[in-house]
């Protein structure tokens, strides 16, 4: 199916499955050990109902927001994905081009290709660079200096990867996660990463600092005390610690603790327009798209990512209108309510047509 013929996100995911071998497909959809955290990401989203208002003028709906001083067409970021190039040869450069064409922001992973400079040069759109630490303070400082010189508008430190997790879909096949092969180096540096490192980076470098992998209020407060600019709530898509909480369940308490002193991003199982609306209603400033980005990349590179974002925006626009609001600024926590989920928790539970016969 040509990229322009995709009418639903189901079709994009179906094309991704057809294009990927079993190893890369499992790498994309899998989680750690029992995959409980992965499933809870969807379960927590499916356990929130929307509470619409009626008889409001919604003839002119604005889906845009701002993040770190830059306009986003919808409040989403293309999340950092290790070895993005195994899903499409252009890797991080293709993601940057798609983000620019559509009008959002991309986060380049240090374990994807091409180089951070080549990704920066791929488009004029604002970008963030994310780092897994594989060296000492001088090594980190060199990366940050390169990040600033390349024109990135933020630096993201991922902090939930102190250990290499057991992703049993990969282990059972004897396959090494592609991201581990991409960067190499001594993984012990990531294990040694601590709050003193964050403090040092914040004091030494004048670039917005994002800490990705916050799960509890105390850590969010500590990050705030050190002057972190963005609290990124994430359980790594269920790919690190098993038996964690669903990402959106973590969000309200952390938003309450942050009290507007920093921006808040969340990711983990956000695949539909209604998912984005729930996150913003509960106080997030933006939502990271990980697997959704990779599925689209595998389906057709940058053009398919743009098409996915167009479909997502259409879902958002319709759902905002049906909620009785004309912009994200009108949402608050009263627009969501806890319920029992209808679907069994699964990485694909947001896409019921994938379980049906051909023709979609």
**Catalytic residue ranges:** 236
Per the DSSP assignment, residues forming a β-bridge with 233 are: 214, 266
* H-run or E-run covering 213: strand 209-214
Query: Rounded distance, CA 126 to CA 152, Å?
Result: 7
Query: Rounded distance, CA 198 to CA 226, Å?
Result: 8
Query: Rounded distance, CA 212 to CA 73, Å?
Result: 22
**Termini Cα distance of the chain:** 11
| Alpha carbon separation from 65 to 175, 187, 258 (Å, rounded) | 41, 37, 19
Per the DSSP assignment, residues forming a β-bridge with 286 are: 265
Task: List the Cα angle 126/129/130 in 5-degree steps.
Answer: 145
Per the DSSP assignment, residues forming a β-bridge with 67 are: 70
Query: Rounded distance, CA 204 to CA 271, Å?
Result: 37
- Cβ atoms < 10 Å from Cβ of 3: 18
Helices (DSSP H) in the chain: which residue ranges? 9-19, 22-29, 36-46, 91-102, 116-121, 137-150, 168-173, 178-183, 188-192, 195-204, 217-225, 247-258, 273-281, 291-323
């Amino acid at each position: 199916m040509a990229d322009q013929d995709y009418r639903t996100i189901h079709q994009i995911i179906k094309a991704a499955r057809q294009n990927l071998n079993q190893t890369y497909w499992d790498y994309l959809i899998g989680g750690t050990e029992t995959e409980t955290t992965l499933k809870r990401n969807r379960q927590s989203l499916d356990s929130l109902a929307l509470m619409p208002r009626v008889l409001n003028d919604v003839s002119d709906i604005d889906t845009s927001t701002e993040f770190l001083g830059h306009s986003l067409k919808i409040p989403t970021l293309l999340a950092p994905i290790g070895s993005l190039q195994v899903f499409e040869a252009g890797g991080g450069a293709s993601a940057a081009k798609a983000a620019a064409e559509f009008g959002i922001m991309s986060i380049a992973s240090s374990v994807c290709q091409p180089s951070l400079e080549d990704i920066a040069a791929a488009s004029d759109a604002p970008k963030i660079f994310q780092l897994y630490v594989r060296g000492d303070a001088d090594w980190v400082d060199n990366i940050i200096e390169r990040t600033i010189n390349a024109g990135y508008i933020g630096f993201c430190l991922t902090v939930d990867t102190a250990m290499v997790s057991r992703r049993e879909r990969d282990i059972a096949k004897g396959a090494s996660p592609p991201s581990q092969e991409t960067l190499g180096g001594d993984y012990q540096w990531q294990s040694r990463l601590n709050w003193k490192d964050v403090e040092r980076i914040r004091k030494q470098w004048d670039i917005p600092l994002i800490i990705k992998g916050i799960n509890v209020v105390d850590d969010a407060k500590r990050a705030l005390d050190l002057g972190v600019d963005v609290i990124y709530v994430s359980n790594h898509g269920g790919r690190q610690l098993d038996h964690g909480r669903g990402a959106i369940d973590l969000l309200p308490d952390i938003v309450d603790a942050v009290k507007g002193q920093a921006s808040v991003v969340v990711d983990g199982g956000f695949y539909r327009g209604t998912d984005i609306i729930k996150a913003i209603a509960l106080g997030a400033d933006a939502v990271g798209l990980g697997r959704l980005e990779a599925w689209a990349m595998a389906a057709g590179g940058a053009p398919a990512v743009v098409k996915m974002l167009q479909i997502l925006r259409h879902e958002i626009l319709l759902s905002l209108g049906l909620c009785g609001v004309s912009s994200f600024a009108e949402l608050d926590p009263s627009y969501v309510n806890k319920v029992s989920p209808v679907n069994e928790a699964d990485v694909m539970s947001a896409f019921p047509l994938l379980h049906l016969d051909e023709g979609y």
